[in-house]
């Protein structure tokens, strides 16, 4: 199915075509209608299936570009993934103009990241530990978050980030959209997802070609 079947702006349709994205991957066509409707979504699909675009288009749709506070938060397990996701979301964000996407992760000095935050960011993509640290220091404020994405949720839980994620969700408004993406769904993920998602739409594509 083509991206043109989705309720996206003309600018985003044009941007997707320029980026070379024409046909949706199975996880994209299965999840994007619900994501764009603002529903909570629990999605399972293997690595490389295009999950970033599925949540990226969703969170961009909810942004107010004129407000430079954090409106969408994406949590990822590692620094590399946070950088990758931030880069992909930046490409999609071109359709909206001046959107700032900031990657925040540990293993590097906190001060420059805190300073970048002072200049405002619409979207934060980060690892749970560093994000929580910045929230605790009141440098990162999550009171305007409209969409929370848990990317590679299975890996984050495996790495012991459950408590951090839980604390981060408590700093977000109660009324928000939650999107959980995972390559696998062991019982621990299902249990965790019950605490983070509200009446989610379940999507899985693993048995499809
Ligand atoms: P996942 O998170 O599921 O592992 P990614 O979101 O990283 O997968 O996407 C894997 C690759 O597929 C990326 O290079 C991305 O740009 C590309 N991709 C995503 N969606 C499409 C699409 N609809 N058409 C072509 N390529 C796509
Ligand atoms: Mg991914």
Tens of pLDDT, residue by residue over 95-147, are 999 999 999 999 999 999 999 999 999 999 999 999 999 999 999 999 999 99
- Decide if 123 is inside a domain: yes
Pull the structure tokens for residue 16: 């997707």
- Decide if 5 is inside a domain: no
Position 208 scores a pLDDT of 46
Average pLDDT over residues 71-85: 98
Phi/psi-derived region of residue 120, left when phi > 0, alpha when psi is between -120 and 50, beta in every other case: left
Atom from ligand 1 closest to the CA of residue 46? 3
- Which residue segment(s) compose the domain that 174 sits in? 24-204
Name 202's Cβ contacts closer than 8 Å, sequence gap at least 6. 42, 43
Among the bound ligands, name the one nearest to the CA of residue 54: 1
**pLDDT at residue 209 is higher than 50:** no
- Decide if 143 is inside a domain: yes
* Per-residue model confidence as pLDDT tens digits over 44-67: 999 999 999 999 999 999 999 999
- Decide if 78 is inside a domain: yes
Q: How far is the CA of 51 from the centre of ligand 1 (A)?
A: 7
- Decide if 72 is inside a domain: yes
Residue to probe by mutation, ligand 1, list 8, 50, 53, 77, most atoms within 8 Å of CB: 50
118: domain CATH number is 3.40.50.300
Residues with CB under 5 A from ligand 2 (ion): 51
- Decide if 31 is inside a domain: yes
- Decide if 127 is inside a domain: yes
Atom from ligand 1 closest to the CA of residue 28? 23
- Decide if 179 is inside a domain: yes
The total number of structural domains in the chain stands at: 1
């Amino acid at each position: 199915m083509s991206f043109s079947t989705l309720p996206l702006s003309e600018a985003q349709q044009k941007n997707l075509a320029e980026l070379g994205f024409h046909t949706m991957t199975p996880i994209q066509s299965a999840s994007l209608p619900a994501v764009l409707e603002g529903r909570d979504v629990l999605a399972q699909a293997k690595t490389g299936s295009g999950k970033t675009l599925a949540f990226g288009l969703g969170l961009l749709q909810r942004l107010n570009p004129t407000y430079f506070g954090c409106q969408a938060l994406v949590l990822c397990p590692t620094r590399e993934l946070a950088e990758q996701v931030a880069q992909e979301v930046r490409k999609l964000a071109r359709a909206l103009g001046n959107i700032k996407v900031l990657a925040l992760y540990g293993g590097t000095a906190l001060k420059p990241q805190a300073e970048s935050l002072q200049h405002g960011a619409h979207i934060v993509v980060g690892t749970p530990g560093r994000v929580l640290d910045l929230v605790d220091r009141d440098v990162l404020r999550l009171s305007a978050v409209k969409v929370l994405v848990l990317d590679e949720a299975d890996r984050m839980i495996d790495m012991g980030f459950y408590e951090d994620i839980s604390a981060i969700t408590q700093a977000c408004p109660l009324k928000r959209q939650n999107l959980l993406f995972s390559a696998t769904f062991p019982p621990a993920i299902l249990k965790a997802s019950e605490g983070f998602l509200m009446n989610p739409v379940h999507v899985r594509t693993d048995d499809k070609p």
